Structure formats: structure tokens, C-alpha cells
Amino acid sequence: MMSRRGMVRLASAALVGAGGFLALGAGVRRRDAARARAVLDMPVVAPETPLNVFHLGHSLVGRDMPAMLAQLAPAGHDYASQLGWGTPLLAHWEPDVPVNGFETENDHPKFAPAREALQSGDFDALVLTEMVELKDAIRYHDSAKYLAKWAQFARNARPDVRVYLYETWHNTDDPAGWLARIDDDYDTLWVQRVLMPAVVQTGVPIHVIPGGQALAAFVRAVDARGGVGNVAGRDALMARTPEGAVDTIHLSDLGAYLIALTHYATLYQRSPVGLPLALYRADGTAAVAPDAQSGELMQQIVWDVVRSTSFSGVAA
């Protein structure tokens, strides 16, 4: 069987040899997109050992979700992160562009400066996400360009590093509709305007952790049942503001648990069915856990979504 490193080199050569044309922010030529899709459709070789993961992004990564992932993952899994408030990839890359909330979001033991961390070669996987509103990120912050820069930087430091784009979601009160945005944005924005141009430019296989898709599928299943266990509807997955109102974008413990499951299933290519329900937040306090009914449904839906979503790298 061909090694993972051999498959990566073959995939990269296929893209570079294609003479891919990049039009950052405006998608790619159909011919190059087809070749990129062929590369991304190749399943990623499942890791045989625990991963050391670097998370680069903002508050939709947060502190608790990576901590939950570490509790779900095989013993030996480790992680570090660099976060900000609504931070675009551009701001993480450019030294002269401020990262809003940098000091606050990174005031924890798992912070590591992104460039130094990746350059060390110590990380097996890099998970990046872009700011939302994603349309604004693409238009004003060159999302594809900076996804490509980070992917290439990580790959230069460690040729076999796994690179992932974490798909998120927009505000629940979005005028176009929260579910509609998740449905429509996956291919038209996340894939066509961010992922594909970066893959064509770099030749680096970048796969997707389908967080928004998992949230949408679970919410639809809960709504269809009129509630499941301790999840009455979408609001149970969302955090609360200091005033007690439903936060329109940040997740509660239950939402973070679902997203941690999605990272686990994608990164390890294993079914999350049967994983523990009761976990701890990053600060060591007990997280609000799904009960048996909602937890089982979360785990099954996440596994279904990860295997059925294009470019996750997980075979159906």
C-alpha cells in the first residue's frame, strides 16, 4: 500500500503538473477545479497514532471545543491554538494587522504563536477557519490567498502535515435564513471561493471539517422530532449573552460537544458513536452534557455528515 507521504506527493504533483490557474477570490477555471476535486476526493489515510493538532481561528473554535476533542480522542492527543475575535486568516498572517482580542483569547496554557508552532514541525494537523461574514472575508480579506499561505507554510515545515479548513456558520438571525446560509454557502463560498483556489495554488490537499453541515443536520433532526432528550431545539446549542439572551452565533457546551465530535470523526476517521457524553471545559469545570438520547443522535448524525460531505477526506 502506498504510504501517506507518497499519496501526498502524488496529489501535489497532479495539481502542480496541471499548471493550475489561480484567480483568488473569484474561484478557479473549471478544468483546474476538476483536477483539484479529483485530488480532494481521494480519502485521507486514517492516522494510526494520536494527533498533535494546531487550531488557528477565532471564537468559533474557542477554548472548550479543542479541550473536548482532546478528551474524545485517543490517549496522547494534544493541541495548541492561536485565536482572536472574529479574526480573518489575513490578520493571523500579516504582522502589521492587529488580531482583535489576541491577549484575551490567548490567555490560556494551550496558546502557542502560530508561526513558531508550525515551523517546529511538531504538529500532525493544522485546522484553520475563516472569519464570518464569509462573503466579507472573501471580498476584503483575501480568504483563499491566506488559506493558501498558511497551508503552504505548514507544509514547508512538515511535508506530511494534514491541513483542514473548518467550516462554520453565520448568525442565527441572518436575513437569508441560518439553515439556508449553511446549505448555500458550503459549495458556493467555502469550496468554490476559499478551498479550491487555495488547493490549485499550492497543490496542498486541504480537506474540510464540516461543522456547519453537522449543526444544520442535527437541528433539522431535532426539529423533525419535536425535540430530543435535553435538546428542545437549536437554541439549546447556542450560548447565552451576559443579559441572558440567546447568542446568535457562539455555541453552548452542547454545541461545542457536537463540533468536537465533528473534528474527531474527520481527523481520526472513526465513528464517534459510543464516545463519552460527560466532558470538561478547558478550565476543568464540568460541561453541560447531552443526555443519552440527544448524545446518541448527535454522534450518529455527525458520522453520517462527515462521511457524506464532499472533501472531508473521509470515505463514505
- 35-to-9, 13, 160 alpha-carbon distances in Å: 15, 11, 21
Q: What is the pLDDT of residue 27?
A: 65
Using the structure block, give the residue that is written with the C-alpha cell 456547519.
212
Write down the CATH number for the domain with range 4-308: 3.40.50.1110
Q: What is the dihedral of CA 93, 39, 45, 301, to 10 degrees?
A: 80
State the cell numbers at 27.
474561484
Q: What is the pLDDT of residue 26?
A: 55
- Which amino acid, one-letter code, is at 196? M
Alpha carbons 260 and 241: distance in angstroms, whole number: 22
State the cell numbers at 212.
456547519
Cis amide linkage into residue 133, ω under 30° from 0 = yes
Instruction: Return the domain boundaries, the chain.
Output: 4-308
219-224 long-range contacts, Cβ below 8 Å, gap at least 24? Answer: 219/179, 220/179, 221/297, 221/301, 222/294, 222/297
Q: Specify the DSSP element, H or E, that contains 58.
A: none
Q: What is the pLDDT of residue 91?
A: 98
Q: What is the pLDDT of residue 35?
A: 78
Number of Cβ within 10 Å of residue 21's Cβ equals 12
Q: What is the pLDDT of residue 15?
A: 43
Instruction: Show the DSSP H helices in the chain as ranges.
Output: 4-17, 30-40, 64-72, 89-93, 102-105, 114-119, 134-141, 143-157, 178-185, 196-202, 211-225, 253-268, 292-308
pTM summary value: 0.91
Yes or no: say if 15 and 35 are a contact pair by the CB < 8 Å rule: yes
Q: What angle do CA 260, 307, 130 make, to 5 degrees?
A: 50
Yes or no: say if 210 and 303 are a contact pair by the CB < 8 Å rule: no
Alpha carbons 241 and 228: distance in angstroms, whole number: 24
Per-residue model confidence as pLDDT tens for the chain (316 residues): 334 444 444 344 444 333 333 344 456 788 888 878 877 877 789 999 999 999 999 999 999 999 999 999 999 999 999 999 999 999 999 999 999 999 999 999 999 999 999 999 999 999 999 999 999 999 999 999 999 999 999 999 999 999 999 999 999 999 999 999 999 999 999 999 999 999 999 999 999 999 999 999 999 999 999 999 999 999 999 999 999 999 999 999 999 999 999 999 999 999 999 999 999 999 999 999 999 999 999 999 999 999 999 999 999 8
